[in-house]
Structure 1
Amino acid sequence: MSWNDFFIKNSKLINHILNQLKTTYYTPPLEEIFAIFKYIPLEKVKVVMIGDEPYQKSCDRSDIAFATRNSTPPLLLKRIFQNMESTVTSFKRPIDYHLDQWLKNGIFLCNFCFTRPVVDTIPFHYYLLWEPFINNLVQYISNHHSVVFLLFGSKAISLRKSINEIKSSVVEVPHPINEYTKFKNSKCFIKARELAGEIGFIFEW
């Protein structure tokens, strides 16, 4: 199984999404929407981190979820690093924030919505547009591969129903901004490593 197989099986759905996007101004640009699939092959995936949507500020956005091309991490990423620094003894903050080392370590980074409109807020119908795709994606990954899913916030957590937990494990993570206190005390990154060990593999942040 491969990403190519996944895209072939979901070609009609993907074409529908892209056709809907033609009527809106959105980010990231078309050529970057599915960039994550070029960075990491399916068989190399160990951890899947899922957030809500791309960053609101254009200066923060990257072709990879959670990552940024900016020299200063957005608040979401900053809080993730702070949590890791306080709980994962081996963690060292990366030199830049494109998170290339995470990708090399088998950490697949994506959002519930792979795009967002170029406005201050993201309308509810955007989640409805991307929901079938992201559900199919987590189902495909978990049916063919044993991984650990970290689901950040309520939207991502709603995907749990589509994950095959016979093969994979799930960590529900309070949103680092909207539920900061709960996130701060969650020890989610330690839990992810422990679950990975139970499945039978080791990874580094």
Structure 2
Amino acid sequence: MGSRRREALLADVDPEEAAGLAALARTRRPWPGVLDDELEKPYFRDLMGMVDRGRRTGVVYPPAGDLFAAFHLTPYDKVKVVILGQDPYHQPGQANGLCFSVPRDVPRLPPSLRNIYAMMTRDGLTPPPHGDLTEWAQRGVLLLNTALTVRDSRANSHAKQWRQFADAAITKLSDRDRPVVFVLWGKAAQRKRDLIDEDRHAVVTAPHPAARGRSQTEFREAKTLTEVNRRLDTLGVTPVDWAIT
């Protein structure tokens, strides 16, 4: 059955659900064979409907095609590090589906990303002249926000609705035999620590990249990337090349 015909039949039954499912189909499924059951749950269909209504009545970030970018760029069996963010940047042109990352043509980097680059410098790395962290994602670093969408200029506006899905993704990684290093920056990310089996995996913590004052200094001096590679080596996993071109 053609996609237009199927969408039309769904719309006859439940227009909002059909809109959400159509949006999901357009953006491709995240981690096929891993999260499939999660995508069939009623809360997820409601979530997709909410996101679709938000796009029809206002502005939602990131663009629909980037909704599951983190999962597409870092397949489940390739994940060796997880950097956990909160929700996408909520200003025009910044969100690209990867936590803390922005498209290459964004002229002024958000404060959190500027602090990440300051941390890279303290860690002996040269930050790139842009804010796109796609190369990290392609090397096994899952750049996961705990909310995958946000309304324009309204931080955390979809945080509650995405919580169950984000927890499921973290739990799936925690259940995996191959070890992962989880990077939890800030208190919000560190509240997810209970979902991680630390007998199997490693956790690295530091203040949030957007922290100010003493916490900002602590973040910049944490040498998180060196510590992540040390933990990976201990776990028998090849360290990450953190250099970005």
What range describes the TM-score normalised by the shorter chain of this pair? Answer: 0.7 to 0.9
- C-alpha separation between the residues in 1 aligned to 2:52 and 2:31? 24
- The answer to whether the aligner puts 1:164 opposite 2:197 as a matched pair is yes
- The answer to whether the aligner puts 1:174 opposite 2:207 as a matched pair is yes
Find the residue that maps to 1:58 and give its secondary structure: coil
Larger deviation, residues 15-24 vs 194-203: 15-24
* Residue segments in structure 1 that go unaligned for 5+ positions in a row: none
* Deviation per residue, 1:90-143 (Å, 9 max, x gap): x232354222321232111111111111134434xx322111111111110121
Q: What's the TM-score, normalizing by structure 1?
A: 0.88
- The answer to whether the aligner puts 1:134 opposite 2:134 as a matched pair is no
Conservation of the 8 A alpha-carbon contact between 2:87 and 2:147: yes
- The answer to whether the aligner puts 1:81 opposite 2:117 as a matched pair is yes
Query: Percent of counterpart pairs with the same letter?
Result: 25
Aligned residues: 200
- C-alpha separation between the residues in 2 aligned to 1:73 and 1:119? 16
* Residue segments in structure 2 that go unaligned for 5+ positions in a row: 1-29
* Deviation per residue, 1:28-84 (Å, 9 max, x gap): 133321122211222221111111111122132223222111143221111101111
Larger deviation, residues 154-163 vs 21-30: 21-30
Q: CA RMSD in A?
A: 1.9
Question: Which one scores higher on RCO, CA 8 angstroms, separation ≥ 6?
Answer: 1
Q: 1:155 aligns with which of 181, 188, 206?
A: 188
- The one-letter code sitting in structure 2 at the alignment partner of 1:76 is S
Q: Which has the larger radius of gyration?
A: 2
- What is the aligned partner in structure 1 of residue 27 from structure 2? none
Q: What's the TM-score, normalizing by structure 2?
A: 0.74
Q: 1:8 aligns with which of 36, 42, 57?
A: 36
- What is the aligned partner in structure 1 of residue 78 from structure 2? 44
- C-alpha separation between the residues in 1 aligned to 2:221 and 2:100? 20
